[in-house]
């Protein structure tokens, strides 16, 4: 579920009504989502603390508390954040619950691939070294081209999923980008023509912008003109060409594309 825009949405869910004084912390100590955290100090540090602000970068979130404390949240494959009215009824997959006087801020994750940890400092631990966001002016075409060269042997689909360069791109965004740019997901990253590189750069930013606009604030449904609404249905048709979509495993992930539009171009 959570890619760039979904993460932004969930960040906003917990941010509504800031600041929040935390009266009580409920957690599920043995859960795998705390594999990088010290559960006792997490409870101790957050109880009676105040949630002041929130940050999102790619698929990561950081919630800033008084005393330069940061709560890092990664949603993994199935994690979500909820902001529930009282009375709050605990679900078996609620692994961290921050109670305020009137709300329950919940981290819920059925598959336990998410992770939670605490850090202290002016910035969240490790965030000074993050790559530029997709919509940051420092994310440039040159940066993209250099990375495609470095990963030249890998299929372009696999390369777009690499968070070290494309923070926030996940499976559906990668497919959407390649479909819009008319690039076959299996094409080797190093064989893209200059025209394809330009188109790819443009569509990365366009999909990030569009996804944030539609999903980032209110979780709207993407329009049927996107690949998004057609990608999982058997017999789905490409909304641009009307031709059948196909699904293949590329870069280890199920990949949906339109063979009529997305053909491999070999560079001389």
Residues of this chain that bind DNA (CB under 7 A) = 1-3, 6, 32, 58-59, 74, 76-77, 92-93, 110-113, 150-155, 158, 161, 163, 170-172, 232, 247, 251-254
Query: Which of the residues 132, 253, 259, 265 is marked catalytic?
Result: 253
By DSSP bridging, strand 50-57 and strand 20-21 are antiparallel
Closest approach, Cβ 255 to DNA, in A, equals 9
Q: Where are the alpha helices (DSSP H) in 66-152?
A: 141-150
> Cβ of residue 249: shortest distance to DNA, in angstroms?
7
User: How distant, in Å, are the alpha carbons of 20, 199, 238 from that of 258?
Assistant: 47, 17, 6
Q: Record the tokens describing residue 208, joined without a space.
A: 């990030």
Residues 6+ apart with CB under 8 A from 65: 22, 45, 46, 49, 50, 51, 52, 71
Distance CA 172, CA 41 (A): 37
Question: How many C-beta atoms surround the C-beta of residue 239 within 10 A?
Answer: 17
What is the spatial distance between Cα 24 and Cα 173, in angstroms, rounded to a whole number? 37
How far is residue 132's CA from residue 126's CA, in Å, rounded to a whole number?
Answer: 14
The single residue of 6, 8, 11, 59 carrying the catalytic annotation is 59
Measured from the CB atom, the residue of 57 and 99 that comes closer to DNA is 57
DSSP designation for 129:
G
Which tokens in the block code for residue 56? 């999102």
State in angstroms the smallest separation of the CB of 232 from DNA.
7
Catalytic residue among 3, 6, 8, 176: 3
Least Å distance, CB 133 to DNA, is 14
Q: Is 59 a catalytic residue?
A: yes
Question: Nearer Cβ to DNA, position 103 or 231?
Answer: 231
Residue closer to DNA (CB basis): 95 or 182:
95
4: phi then psi, degrees, rounded to nearest 5: -40, -55
Shortest gap between Cβ of 49 and DNA (angstroms)?
Answer: 26
- CB nearer to DNA: pick between 88 and 113: 113
What distance in Å separates the CA atoms of residue 119 and residue 79, rounded to the nearest whole number? 21
- CB of 50 or CB of 186, closer to DNA: 186
Largest Cα–Cα distance of the chain, in whole Å?
Answer: 66
Catalytic residues: 2-3, 59, 253
């Amino acid at each position: 579920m959570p890619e760039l825009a979904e993460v932004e949405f969930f960040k906003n869910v917990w941010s509504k009504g800031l600041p929040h004084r935390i009266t009580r912390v409920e957690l599920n100590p043995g859960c795998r989502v705390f594999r990088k955290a010290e559960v006792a100090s997490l409870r101790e540090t957050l109880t009676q603390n105040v949630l002041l602000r929130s940050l999102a970068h790619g698929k990561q979130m950081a919630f800033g508390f008084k005393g330069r404390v940061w709560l890092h949240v990664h949603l993994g494959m199935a994690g979500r954040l909820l902001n529930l009215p009282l009375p709050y009824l605990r679900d078996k997959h609620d692994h961290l619950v921050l109670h305020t006087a009137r709300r329950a801020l919940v981290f819920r994750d059925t598959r336990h691939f998410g992770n939670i940890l605490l850090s202290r400092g002016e910035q969240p631990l490790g965030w000074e070294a993050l790559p530029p966001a997709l919509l940051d002016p420092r994310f440039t075409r040159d940066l993209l081209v250099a990375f495609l060269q470095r990963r030249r042997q890998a299929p372009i689909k696999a390369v777009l999923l690499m968070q070290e360069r494309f923070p926030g791109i996940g499976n559906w965004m990668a497919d959407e980008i390649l479909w819009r740019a008319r690039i076959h997901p299996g094409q080797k990253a190093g064989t893209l023509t200059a025209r394809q590189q330009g188109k790819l750069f443009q569509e990365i930013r366009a999909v990030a912008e569009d996804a944030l606009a539609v999903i980032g604030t209110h979780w709207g449904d993407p329009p049927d003109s996107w690949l998004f609404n057609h990608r999982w249905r058997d017999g789905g048709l490409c909304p641009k060409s009307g031709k059948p979509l196909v699904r293949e495993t590329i870069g280890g992930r199920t990949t949906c594309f339109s063979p009529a539009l997305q053909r491999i171009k070999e560079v001389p």
